[in-house]
Structure 1
Amino acid sequence: MGRAKKVVLAYSGGVDTSVCIPYLKQEWGVEEVITLAADLGQGDELEPVREKALKSGASESLVADVKDTFVKDYAFAAIQANALYENRYPLGTALARPLIAKILVETAEKYGADAIAHGCTGKGNDQVRFDVSCAALNPHLKILAPAREWGMSREQTIAYGESFGIPAPVKKSSPYSIDRNLLGRSIEAGVLEDPTFEPPEEIYLLTKAIADTPNEPEYIEIGFHRGIPTTLNSTPKNPVELIEQLNQVAGNHGIGRIDMIENRLVGIKSREIYESPAMLVLINAHRDLESLTLTADVSHYKRGIEETYTQLVYNGLWYSPLKAALDAFIQSTQERVSGVVRLKLFKGNATIVGRWSDNSLYTPDLATYGAEDQFDHKAAEGFVYVWGLPTRIWAQQGRK
């Protein structure tokens, strides 16, 4: 039964997305499949991916280089929000999905397609992120998810592809499922599905084992302008360059590994391993600079906003009204978050050892305990009395 005539398919070159091409045409009566691969800095050569789509039956195979947009409009926004899902995961994969959805919709509109397709299964978070983001950007486009409906095992999927001339993938010695982009890597499946099993060293690529890291610390300085990282060691860096260099520098010291039991949106727990050196260092540094430049009430209130923001992004609601409203609040808080943070990188730790800003709210002659102290100590007695008055009255009532 035909569901659409022309479809734009989010394409990675893997088994599922490759098999989606003949499946859409043979089983669902789609007349034309246009594939779109997004270059998010995953490090793969995308020309073979583009060619594979054409050999698999795509009428056109497109590759979009969106690395710069990915960092500027998505990663940097998440850094301003100090976004860590369940206080640990810096959303590397989740941030990529609304961008991919955006270019899918733009491509569908450009080519006159009436549907968008992806290769997500029914078990993960990405199906939600793609479906909801695409619907928010263009609710008139149909969204097709063959892998969610075809009910084939991996072996059956490979056999189906082979029947249409799609070669079976070379068998890997690695049994892991890996997603990579500029912001880091996520690793799951295989032996990692046992939450008691220590991850083998072979799964890591961006971060060194502690035993292999330098025996001397390395100091770095990260400069921010309105909450956006702009310099590394006083040298201006473009967004992609900054992330790439920080991944290398921090990863060299074993910084950026996360091993967590994560609560997926679909209601199951999964064991996830992440490598995200640059994002963890930048969020850590940014939060510290905020402590120097934001008032206490704004800083404390923003923590709750950050938690809600992070859940929205993880749950696929990047283009939702609440997310837009929180963006406006967060941008307002960043006007004075400019300055430099100094960190010591050593044996898996990125320790903040200094920070300074022209907008600093730290006042030395009020904070000092030395002779320069300008704080009015006499005023404190009246303040403490008034501040503690409700508690005192409550305590007196309790004694009756």
Structure 2
Amino acid sequence: MRELVSPAPIVTTGIPLGESQATEPQTTTTIALKDRYHAVEVEKFDVLEGVEFPTDYIQSLQDEIVKEFGKSQQFKQVLPAGQNPADATASTLRLSGTVTYFDPGNRAERYFGSGQGHIVIYVVLGDRPTGETLVTDQISATLSGGIFGGNPKNITHEFAKTLANTTKLLLEKPVPSPGELAPPEAAGPRPPSTDHKVVTISSGNYDQGQVNLNAEASTGYRLVAFTPKGMESADVTMESSATPPQVYQYRVLHTHLFGNLEKDLNKAALDGYRYCPNTLAWLAGGFGAVGFAIIEKPPVPSKTSYEYRVHAATQLSNAQKDVVKDQRENFSLVGTFETADRHIALMERTVSKAGE
């Protein structure tokens, strides 16, 4: 039986229909974003209509991000929105974002080890002077404890810590050339089309989730957004995009070992599948949490195949080194995730098919 719901709000994250979803390897420049930009302006984040996120949390979120960025020392200057760097010539990033999901959890239950709070934010790093979008990512954080169960507002601190770590990985990416800049629709979530479906994938029932995805895909729908809702479930938004019988196909990958996730990705890539952006997640499994990702096969076979590497480093500095090393071999960073003790980086590169 299909597990279909239509929760509000629903958001899509700028995956262009009918085009390649993940970013192509960027090899035209060797200048890393971290070496170009030395200041960042942190804007107050937006909240998607329909998401109940307290107004005072918005200010707290900005304050915590400024604080964590300052502690991380990845920028010479960290500025609240509207302030200018002391050095007028400094190349400056602008950080913006949209809260797309928030669950405060249950403070009383957190005291006993459950009742976690969760937040998902679509973040954008852009060039402040031009407004051009350089990097986007979907980042989630969890509030699992604290004194007397932890104040729900502390989720802003947990998110800021996760964002600071993730940003260090994102800034290892090369400065994109003009032809590699993200499309305008990537600058923020957009409402789904009127013709859309939402498939809920529940933890421990991933095989059925794959069946449900392909059931909708068989009628012409394509994945356009993925929203993890804690560790128990995730919502997949699909929009009408294809005309049967030429339709998209999906596989839901889930494994306890990230090394096995790499093997599964590369095996599926040989069959024409490719990683779907923002679907890398850490969800509950039968015997502990599992690494999770969704991959897609287009209706018409692509002339390009893909190769993947998955790194799960205990030290952030090692994860950064892994990203830099792989980029020298024409890989691109296409997915990140933070667990309690691992920094996950998913790398992708294009490879030519035999005889083409």
TM range (shorter): under 0.3
Give the greater-gyration-radius structure (CA). 1
TM (norm. structure 1) is: 0.25
The answer to which structure has the higher helix fraction is 1
TM (norm. structure 2) is: 0.27
